[in-house]
Structure 1
Amino acid sequence: MTTDWLQRRAWLSPTAPAIIDVSGPGGIADARTIDYRTLDAETNQVANALAAQGIGLGDRVAVLAKNRVEYVQLWFACAKLGAALQALNWRLTARELGPLITQAGPRIMFWDREFAELIDSLRPQLGDAKIVALDEPRAGDLEFSSFRDQPSTPPPRPEFGPDQPWVLCYTGGTTGLPKAALLTHGTIAWNAINTVSSWGLSKADVAVLNAPMFHTGGLNVFTAPLVHAGGCSILCREFDLDQLYDLITDHGVTCFFGVPAMFQAMQAHPRWASAPLERLSLIISGGAPCPEPVFERFWARGIDFKTGYGLTEAGPNNFWLPPERVRDKPGAVGWPLMHVEVRIIDQHGAVCGPEEVGELWIRGPHVCPGYDKNPEATAESFIDGWLHTGDLARADAEGCVTIVGRSKDMIISGGENIYPAEIESAISAHPAVAEAALIGVPHERWGEVGRAFVVLASGAQLDAEGLLAYLGEHLARYKLPKSVVFLDSLPRTGAGKIDKRALEAR
């Protein structure tokens, strides 16, 4: 298995566009198209510069930056050297990032212009690690611009195989220290193989990359698979709705991945009705359960919008729902990809029958070997070759899988199981609601009951009584929330998911 993806793609597709870079201050107006031969040559410069700083096999290379072409080059430069990219979440505070840096022990840190104060707070944790400014340096920092003085020929390649860690990618946990999943050359390659072979990606595909690259969604939903296929990524600094609509309208986009909040924002935007979304061959949601009204608004326009399922530890791509089954399997994630095995297991350890809810287990070469320097968490989640996801799922008689929610989020009220994703979807269907979340709260009689947190659409009015009356027409009585709290916004984790632990803390 080759581990120098860019060199191989530069041989096979030298003049094909690899990246359209719109991440700079000028955005689309200053777009730069980078072909695979150029991207490989510039990445070789970065790899040679890292080697000149003593970075080699097994060393950790930390990056605290928003999306930019240097981030992509550092990622693939690590592949050339056998080093591991530590992709740090820039939404975290110094107090949260410090322990992650101490645990991983990077030998070099790269930082972005927006995070000067944050990097200054982290310098004590960095010890004798070298610090490189991607933009204007602080006193004593190295300048990334000097890396361009290195030769563009490939660096000497150490011997290593597919089990070598390539990325330390953090889970979006809401309690305790985030866990660093060890994404190896093998697991990233097999996710690409699964995605290209099962989703049908090709060299003609162009995907918008505006998910943060510290997240597996930014790295591995489309970006690495498109390198594998010889396709192109449009690199955006971050999610910007108007920029996204401009790209879809004028720049040949065929694929887009987003989290539900992105799609809700798209549908609330004035350009929703006129944007040529029908041109895209693949629009997929992931990262969290997607409310059913989001699907219905896409389907009303004849667009095969669907939801995926993935997690940092596995892929993240695991399922596919064929276009011809999207509407008769609403909310389903579909069937396992080509080299993915799944089981749904009940509380007694038995395989669930059709429509029975249980924990989803995943096995395959795309599953990571565990968590960096965390044997306890590894032993808890990776058992006898299976990843125990902690997510609840059910499969119908055809084997088509639907994700029900997190096992930790399930509410047991008076002996009945309540799955928050179902209730949240029903709440979001109300025209006055922009977003919703449901948690369980203690109750003297029923053990626990649901409490809904609701964000109203701009200019909308709705009270708890009106919402509950609406839900009473759509849900069984035991599923109805027993209280409703209206908020201006919902708290989110560093990965952009709704932070239910923060809601529970209220």
Structure 2
Amino acid sequence: MTAITDWTRKWAATCPEKMAIHHQNSKISYGDLDRKITETAAMLYHSLELRRGDRVAFLGQNHPRMLYLLFACARIGAIFVPLNWRLTPAEHIHMLVNSGAAALFVEEDYQDHCEILKQKLPDCRLVTWGGRKKPGWLGLRHLMEMGKGHDPAPETGQDGPLLLIYTSGTTGFPKGAVLSRAALEYNALNSIHMHDMTHDDVILTILPMFHVGGLNIQTMAAFSLGATVVLLQNFDVEQTIDAINRDRPSLAIILPAHMAPLQAHEKWSQVDLSCFRAVTTGSCVIPKDMTRFWHDRKIPLLQVYGSSETCPIAIHQRAENAFDTEDSIGFAAKYCEVRIMDDQGHDCDDDQPGEIVIKGPNVMTCYWQDEAATTAALKDRWYFTGDIGYRDAQGCYHFVDRKKDMIISGSENIYPAELEVVLGSHPEIHEVAVVGRPDDRWGEIVVAFIVLNPASSLGQAEILDWLASRLGRYKHPRIFHFIDEMPRNEMRKILKEDLRARA
């Protein structure tokens, strides 16, 4: 296995002119990419005097500089901390204070946003790039020039923490999952096996790289193989369509939240999608119509299951089995072990729901400075996901629901995801989320939040009539809320805590 510190060096030596990154109007070859990483490592080590274990934060949208910093941190042994640019200064302060960041690199547009951070982070150096620099800030261009006057930064050549990813925080403050160099290397191997990825692939990255999905499901694996990454600043329908037409990507991650705006665009029906060998998706229960869209075009839609704590690939489909396992999340990743366990810690029989538990070199080492959360989640190197699932007789895994989302009503276990799939198949329902509400008689009752299609006048009585032949009566919602849109976090996941408060 090639070390992450040697990925770009290898391809710079063997195919220096090959395009590594296409971002906006910039095309960066592997020779240029490796040179930028070397210069960035020198800047971190000599100009900022950062050392092994120091935390280096980044705030900005998708940009090659983010990748320069990550690979440079790997070379000097520092820990890279990507921040979600959609969050508030208060949320960023929590992450920066918690991580003890020694330096924060900020896209020029976010300088005003970060001014409030200066008072809370007196020991954190604030670095920006571009022509505008506020008092007290350091300029990246000057720091890079300072670094060029020195020898290349010495490299650690050791495994250790490399990536500190803050979870999306659907409840409480986000926790920082610590991922090692080896975790990223093995995750890349899992990705290569999942996608049958090769040196000739072109990867379209539209997800934000502050999240493991955008960074690690395909993007980092591409660099390990010397493939090409088409990097969008963020998801934009026009830019995504243009990139498909121009760059002809062979692989991409497209989530259900992306499909509706893509399909609503007037140009989408004319896009030639034959360039795709496969499309990867995940993050929620996949709508049937999305699966049909890709499979009708003979393009495998590969579901992937994982989390920040698993770097994230743990379970996935492959092109060879995607058409036959549409209702599942696939099989254990090549370098992962998966168990389904009951509340007593015993392995469940086939088709028996239990907690999904994962072990492998891609699993986090701990939650940063949170011993209690680490102890609760990691036991004998097994990561307890908090998700309910089951394995079928063919060894294929199925996601049922979040353990904390399960509703117990009249001593019956009710899984919201099952209701969401059934309700979501109604032709007049655009989106649905199901939560539990405390009830003196039943313990909990089922509450459904529904977004209808435009012009629909569908009501509660009609929905219950429709459900009568599709779900056991005890699973039926007792209360319906018809709303205009779902509350979501920065990763477009529905905020069920908000819905529970409204239920």
TM above 0.5, one fold? Answer: yes
Superposition deviation, residue 154 in structure 1: 7.3
Match of 1:25 in 2: none
**Which of 322, 326, 330 pairs up with 1:326?**
322
- Using the alignment, how far apart are the partners of 2:320 and 2:267 within structure 1? 27
- Using the alignment, how far apart are the partners of 2:421 and 2:28 within structure 1? 41
**TM-score normalised by the chain length of structure 2:** 0.94
1:196 partnered with 2:200: no
**Which of 40, 50, 61 pairs up with 2:44?**
50
Count how many residue pairs are aligned between Structure 1 and Structure 2: 497
**Which of 208, 213, 230 pairs up with 1:212?**
208
1:145 partnered with 2:141: yes
After superposition, where does 1:266-281 map in structure 2 within 5 Å? Answer: 266-281=262-277
Superposition deviation, residue 124 in structure 1: 1.5
Contact kept in structure 1, 2:95 and 2:166, CA below 8 Å = no
**Which of 144, 153, 158 pairs up with 1:156?**
153
**Which of 67, 70, 75 pairs up with 2:70?**
75
1:2 partnered with 2:3: yes
Match of 2:433 in 1: 437
Q: 1:253 to 1:415 in 2, by over 3 A?
A: same
The worse-fitting range, judged by mean Cα deviation, of 137-146 and 101-110 is 137-146
Match of 2:18 in 1: 16
**Which of 391, 404, 420 pairs up with 2:416?**
420
Contact kept in structure 2, 1:20 and 1:233, CA below 8 Å = yes
- Using the alignment, how far apart are the partners of 1:152 and 1:32 within structure 2? 26
Q: 1:469 to 1:270 in 2, by over 3 A?
A: farther
Matched residue SS, 1:263:
helix
The worse-fitting range, judged by mean Cα deviation, of 328-337 and 402-411 is 328-337
- Deviation track 1:457-479 (CA, whole Å, cap 9, x = no partner) reads 34444323333333334322222
Matched residue SS, 2:274:
helix
- Using the alignment, how far apart are the partners of 2:194 and 2:291 within structure 1? 22
Matched residue SS, 1:227:
helix
Contact kept in structure 1, 2:445 and 2:478, CA below 8 Å = yes
Matched residue SS, 1:496:
coil
Q: 1:390 to 1:458 in 2, by over 3 A?
A: same
**Which of 31, 39, 42 pairs up with 1:37?**
31
- Using the alignment, how far apart are the partners of 2:102 and 2:396 within structure 1? 45
Matched residue SS, 1:313:
helix
Contact kept in structure 2, 1:42 and 1:148, CA below 8 Å = no
Query: Match for 1:264: what amino acid?
Result: A
Contact kept in structure 2, 1:65 and 1:90, CA below 8 Å = yes
Q: 1:234 to 1:11 in 2, by over 3 A?
A: same
Superposition deviation, residue 88 in structure 1: 1.1
- Deviation track 1:160-183 (CA, whole Å, cap 9, x = no partner) reads 422x11111011222222111111
1:133 partnered with 2:134: no
- Deviation track 1:348-376 (CA, whole Å, cap 9, x = no partner) reads 22211111100011111111111111111
**Which of 106, 114, 127 pairs up with 1:111?**
106
**Which of 81, 84, 89 pairs up with 2:79?**
84
Contact kept in structure 1, 2:4 and 2:224, CA below 8 Å = no
Q: 1:145 to 1:457 in 2, by over 3 A?
A: farther
Superposition deviation, residue 212 in structure 1: 1.1
Match of 1:65 in 2: 60
Matched residue SS, 1:323:
coil
CA RMSD of aligned residues (A): 1.9
The worse-fitting range, judged by mean Cα deviation, of 453-462 and 121-130 is 453-462
**Which of 88, 95, 100 pairs up with 1:93?**
88
- Deviation track 1:264-320 (CA, whole Å, cap 9, x = no partner) reads 333343344332223311211122222233223333333322321011111311223
Identity of aligned residues (%): 33
**TM-score normalised by the chain length of structure 1:** 0.93
Matched residue SS, 1:86:
strand
Contact kept in structure 1, 2:302 and 2:316, CA below 8 Å = no
Matched residue SS, 1:325:
coil
User: Structure 1: which 5+ residue stretches go unaligned?
Assistant: 23-30
Contact kept in structure 1, 2:336 and 2:359, CA below 8 Å = yes
Matched residue SS, 1:90:
coil
Contact kept in structure 1, 2:409 and 2:442, CA below 8 Å = yes
**Which of 366, 369, 391 pairs up with 1:395?**
391
The worse-fitting range, judged by mean Cα deviation, of 467-476 and 41-50 is 467-476
- Using the alignment, how far apart are the partners of 1:257 and 1:325 within structure 2? 18
**Which of 159, 162, 165 pairs up with 1:166?**
162
Query: Match for 2:152: what amino acid?
Result: P
Contact kept in structure 2, 1:42 and 1:152, CA below 8 Å = no
Matched residue SS, 1:405:
strand
- Using the alignment, how far apart are the partners of 1:499 and 1:92 within structure 2? 15
Q: 1:443 to 1:21 in 2, by over 3 A?
A: same
Query: Match for 1:41: what amino acid?
Result: R
Match of 2:495 in 1: 499
Matched residue SS, 2:9:
helix
- Using the alignment, how far apart are the partners of 1:184 and 1:152 within structure 2? 31
Query: Following TM superposition, where does structure 1 have runs of at least 4 consecutive aligned residues deviating by more than 4 angstroms?
Result: none
Match of 1:27 in 2: none
**Which of 221, 232, 238 pairs up with 2:234?**
238
- Using the alignment, how far apart are the partners of 1:65 and 1:114 within structure 2? 8
Superposition deviation, residue 69 in structure 1: 1.4
Superposition deviation, residue 327 in structure 1: 3.2
Superposition deviation, residue 391 in structure 1: 0.8
- Using the alignment, how far apart are the partners of 1:467 and 1:134 within structure 2? 55
Contact kept in structure 1, 2:205 and 2:232, CA below 8 Å = yes
Query: Match for 2:64: what amino acid?
Result: V
Query: Match for 2:129: what amino acid?
Result: L
Q: 1:171 to 1:152 in 2, by over 3 A?
A: farther
Query: Match for 1:441: what amino acid?
Result: R
The worse-fitting range, judged by mean Cα deviation, of 375-384 and 141-150 is 141-150
Contact kept in structure 1, 2:187 and 2:216, CA below 8 Å = yes
Contact kept in structure 1, 2:302 and 2:318, CA below 8 Å = no
Match of 2:285 in 1: 289
After superposition, where does 1:478-493 map in structure 2 within 5 Å? Answer: 478-493=474-489
Query: Match for 1:200: what amino acid?
Result: D
Match of 1:26 in 2: none
Contact kept in structure 2, 1:203 and 1:229, CA below 8 Å = yes
Superposition deviation, residue 184 in structure 1: 0.9
Contact kept in structure 1, 2:278 and 2:319, CA below 8 Å = no
Q: 1:438 to 1:270 in 2, by over 3 A?
A: farther
User: Structure 2: which 5+ residue stretches go unaligned?
Assistant: none
